[in-house]
Every structure is written in structure tokens, then in C-alpha cells.
Amino acid sequence: MKKILSVHYDEIALKGKQRGYFQGLLIKNIKEKTNKQIKVVESRLVLEDYGLDDIEKLKLTPGIAWISEAYSIDRDEKELTKLIDEITEENKNVNIDVKRVDKNYDKTSLKLKEELAKKLKLKFDKMGKKIRIEIMGDSFIVNYGIEKGLGGLPVGSSGKLLSLFSGGIDSSIAPLEMMKRGAKVDLLHVYALNSPDFALDSKIKTIAEKLSKVEEGLTLYLIPFHYFSVAALKIDKRYELVLFKRFLLKLAEEISKDRGYLAVITGDALSQVASQTIENINAISFDIQLPVFRPFIGYNKGEIIDKSIKYGFYDLSIEEYKDCCSIVSNTPATKSNPETIKKLETAVEMEKIIKDSIKELKTVKF
């Protein structure tokens, strides 16, 4: 009997001829996080040497559907019965599942499950201890400590994206949603006070560090707000927030040209706030050459908060912090149009603001 950590994927299994590529990338990511050797056993990945810290790391690894501490034993039903008896000794209420990976095994999954229940007087209960028995070619794998993963695809399989990052609820987990789709994501934060040290001594750094546990080697770009804030004194206050969001997208677009990002991510949800009406989103995005991904565009606020809590970002996101959006107008125009925004860009000399701001760009690697 051997104790192992069993790692399972789901979406990767649907990739047909490309499955080997995606599986190989996931193995690479796991090795980088754990520095452990991985064996491939059918469609599961196995770590024979692992610690509890490895389990925590893998729970935050895109591409992994679930992981479990498990026992690998000889394909002997007497040994299997004895092991299940030991696992369920204190509680016979179980949520047990049997999967026949080796279709040549002489009993069906249901038959083996029924026989175990009868011999050990097990009671099936959806809320009971979760046990998954896998019938392999030459062994049984008994999973008993099952933990749900992020699922999706391994980071690095979908190119590089740059995410606008204020530190709020939406922008803190929008990058994670795209990491789950295989993207390598870095962050762009515009800080309100004169020194980037202000941001690096706040939740901005803490959240970026947490996201770096999902994606190894995450980069945070820090750019000052003051060039925009001074120039915005020239325009109608109602358009300041809409123009600021336009500034963010154009800033991200300029950085992306130099650093190879293929799209920009925002935490926008349609009409969640006044600056996110369809008219304003259109005016803000007008003529931006890169795709703009908005993973929460159809969500309501409660759904986004639920995700933030699920991923463990909510308490960090609501920490007090002077972000730029809270400084500019709280009563923005709700129906801006591209023509108006283009005129305002000319009035504030947007291209000059962007060039001056980028000159003070600070890069932090995690």
C-alpha cells in the first residue's frame, strides 16, 4: 500500500490531439510550484512525495479539477475491503463513488460499490465522507481527502493578458477568471499618491502576492495618477471618470504594444455603476486596438462578491485604500459618446499624459 497525492483534470481531457500539450503544460506548472516529481497514471497525475503545503498550492493551480490524498493498493478486493473499513471505522455514512477506469475488470462500478456497502454496512449519504475508488489496470486507487481545484486550463496555454487592477472586489478576481482560461496575466495599477511605495504598503501588494500563488512569476506595473489628475482640471467634471477609464485602457494598450500582451482585462459589469452603462463602455473602448475582456459583464454584484469570497479575496478587497476611481467624480455622465470623449482627449493632450506617465512606470515581480 502506497500513500499518494492524486491530481485530476477535467477540461484538458476534452482536448483531443492537443491533450498531451495541455497535460504537459500542467505538469510543468505543478513542478514549478512544488519542485516534486509527477507520474502520469492513466489520466491522473500522481505525486508520491508531498506535503500539506503542496496541497494548498495545487488547489490554486488552474487546470486542476480536484486533488486528493489517496492510497494505491494491489487490485485485491480483500485488501480494498479492509482499507475502506479502516477509513470508515468511525463513521459509516459515506458518499462513495466507484469509477472503473479499466473496463476489462469483471465487476461493474455499481456492483463493486454495492458489495462493499453490504460487507461493511455502509450507508450512502451525499453529505457523508467522500470516498472515490478508481479501478486501474493493476491497482485500486482509494481517494479519501478530496479537495476541489480551480479547474479550467493551465496557465500559459492562452497567451499573455494585462489586467486593470484597482484593488477592488471586481478587479482583484477578474485576473483569476482569465488565469483559469489558461492566460498568463499581469496587473496594471494606477496609484493615487505621489509614490508607488504607498501602493506597495497596502492591499495592492497583498492581493498581487495572493494572485502570484495562482500564477508563478506575476508582474505588477505601477503608474502615477498625477499627470491625468492635473490635465483633467480642464474638463467638465461629469466626464472625468469616463475619461479616466479611457486613459487606463489606452495606457494598457501602449504597455501591451511594447511587452507583448494580446488583450486587456477589466472588472466591468454592465450598468453596475454609472460609468459602466453600455454607452460609456462603448465610449471608453472606442478605437482600442486590443480585445478587452470583461469576465463579469453579465454578473450582478452579489454574484461577483460570492466569487470573491469563494476565492478568498473579499476581505482583502474591501480594505480601505485611496484608489483613483474614488477621487474622480462620483456623478459621471451616463451616456457619453465616442465623439465627446475624442474631443476631451484632445483637450487634455491624452497622448502626452500617457507618455509622461509611462516614463515613471515601476515594475514589481512576484
Q: Per-residue pLDDT averaged across 102-110, rounded?
A: 94
CATH number for the domain running over 160-365: 3.40.50.620
pLDDT, position 274: 83
68, 6 Cβ separation under 8 angstroms: yes
CATH number for the domain running over 2-148: 3.30.2130.30
pLDDT, position 43: 85
CA angle 353, 356, 360 (to 5 degrees): 130
pLDDT, position 147: 93
pLDDT tens-digit series, residues 241-283: 999 999 999 999 999 999 999 999 999 999 998 889 999 999 9
Residue spans per domain, the chain: 2-148, 160-365
pLDDT, position 90: 83
CA angle 252, 256, 261 (to 5 degrees): 115
9, 34 Cβ separation under 8 angstroms: no
| Predicted TM-score of the model (pTM) | 0.90
Is pLDDT of 330 > 80? no
Q: Give the Cα separation of 286 and 304 in Å (integer).
A: 26
pLDDT tens-digit series, residues 18-28: 999 999 999 99
Query: How many angstroms separate the first and last alpha carbons of the chain?
Result: 40
pLDDT, position 323: 82
pLDDT, position 54: 95
Q: Give the Cα separation of 207 and 20 in Å (integer).
A: 33
Domains 2-148 and 160-365 share a fold: no
pLDDT tens-digit series, residues 134-187: 999 999 999 998 999 999 999 999 999 999 999 999 999 999 999 999 999 999
